[in-house]
Amino acid sequence: MKFENTLEFAQALDQQDVLSKYREEFNFPKVNGKQVIYFTGNSLGLQPKRAVTYVNEVMKDWAELAVEGHFYAEKPWWDYHERFSEPLSKIVGAKPSEVTVMNTLTVNLHLMMASFYRPTAKKFKILCEEKAFPSDQYLIQTQVQFHGLDPKETIVEVKRRDGEHNFRLEDILAKIDEVGGELALVLIGGLNYYTGQVLDMKTITAAAHKHNAYVGWDLAHAAGNIELKLHEWQADFAAWCSYKYMNSGPGNASGCFIHEKHHNNMDLPRLGGWWGHNKDRRFLMEPQYDPIRSAHGWQISNLPILTLAPYLAAVELFDEIGMPLLVEKRDRITAYLEFVLKQVADEVGGDFEIITPENPLERASQLSVLLHGEGRALFDYLMKEGVIVDWREPNVIRLAPVPLYTSYRDIFNFGLVLKNGLTQKA
């Protein structure tokens, strides 16, 4: 499609957009009395209006039923989490039995490592990416120390080449082969939070499995954003937060994937709890742990229903729309944002470098823009003008046009604000 940086063109795209009606499903903040242009869904998604209804349902049931809400609420709390299995499986490309909801992202990754990181004298190394999100760095470091190992000898980082912003697939595969038989686990972010690069998870997973290593994926920025096929790719486990692209609310519950090939392996250790015990026998209070033969068997405690309620509202939105339509708009609106950025740079002489890959297969709803010669003042100006973006040191602005609620007119208007900010500076 040949783009134009005009209001008429942006409005025409919005009129053609089959997802445009879903913008009304979300609450937008306001700055100076005007609805914001919101580009930080990669950090915290907007609030779905129906989330309030779902939370109020739980509050009403709690008020009127108290403990009996576990079994007699309209959506009984006893099996509330099971409502996620089918819709989440479609979002991440899994079987319903392979997904569950519980805890928060890093907690779930710790639990997954308890099962899938079992170092031996010869096979003990963990492969991750250079400058992973800090939580992942701390997670891996402390897990290694928990096993009495030295992080410097145990953690192997895949690095970017000098002068390059993104990882090369061939370098990741070469590092996997280099570590070889010592490799116990690969744990990488499927979509890099800083640059927005999407990794080839299928190829990386297959390469690690050739060395009999387990493979886990942190999908914080990928779930609800890109097409995933975790079951088909044979990933051993994955976890994701729900408050970014899935719009479930700040710090909300995490989703978790465990491939079905591990469900019946009782030799695979896990940290158990009451809610992961055989559901049919849970209230017999048996002394011997008998985990459920599905991803639910990794649950520990009964679920925080007030947390799950807005998550369920958001997941049902995804189920209503389907990932194919979201991905289709995602690619078009991200490409339009790229076009507008380059148009503005050409018009005012701005020195922008988009460090997110140009290849649509290697990016999703995010463009990370390196602002050469610009400081935080431009970010502050955008925020003051109601363009909510994300700043990363030293001078990168992350822009995430989310297909559920970002309009093409938002992109055009952002270009006007950006141009004004650069012109005023000049």
Which pLDDT tens digit goes with each residue over 3-37? 999 999 999 999 999 999 999 999 999 999 999 99
- pLDDT of 382 strictly over 70: yes
Rounded to an integer, the average pLDDT of 265-290 is 92
Reported confidence tier of residue 395, pLDDT bands at 50, 70, 90: confident
- pLDDT of 51 strictly over 90: yes
Q: What are phi and psi of 312, to 5 degrees?
A: -65, -40
Reported confidence tier of residue 310, pLDDT bands at 50, 70, 90: very high
Q: What pLDDT score was predicted for residue 425? A: 62
Q: What pLDDT score was predicted for residue 392? A: 87
Cα 134 to the center of its chain, rounded Å: 15
Q: What pLDDT score was predicted for residue 57? A: 97
CB 228 within 8 A of CB 222: yes
Rounded to an integer, the average pLDDT of 78-95 is 97
- pLDDT of 352 strictly over 90: no
What pairing do the DSSP bridges indicate for beta strands 254-258 and 214-218? unpaired
pTM over 0.75: yes
Q: What pLDDT score was predicted for residue 244? A: 97
Average pLDDT, the chain: 95
Rounded to an integer, the average pLDDT of 370-386 is 88
| Domain limits, the chain | 7-42+323-425, 52-321
In whole angstroms, how far apart are CA 22 and each of 27, 79, 114, 301, 321? Answer: 11, 29, 40, 34, 9
pLDDT in tens, 193-230: 999 999 999 999 999 999 999 999 999 999 999 999 99
Count of C-beta atoms within a 10 Å radius of residue 178: 11
Tokens of 258: 């465990």
In whole angstroms, how far apart are CA 386 and each of 381, 410, 424? Answer: 9, 11, 17
- pLDDT of 426 strictly over 60: no
Q: What pLDDT score was predicted for residue 363? A: 97
- pLDDT > 90 in the chain, percent: 92
CATH assignment of 7-42+323-425, given 3.40.50.360, 3.90.1150.10, 3.40.50.2300, 3.40.50.620? 3.90.1150.10
Rounded to an integer, the average pLDDT of 90-96 is 98
CATH 1.20.140.10 fits 52-321, yes or no: no
DSSP 74: S
Q: What pLDDT score was predicted for residue 56? A: 98
CB 115 within 8 A of CB 269: yes
CB 163 within 8 A of CB 370: no
Rounded to an integer, the average pLDDT of 111-138 is 96
Count of C-beta atoms within a 10 Å radius of residue 409: 16
Look up residue 145 and give its amino acid.
Answer: Q
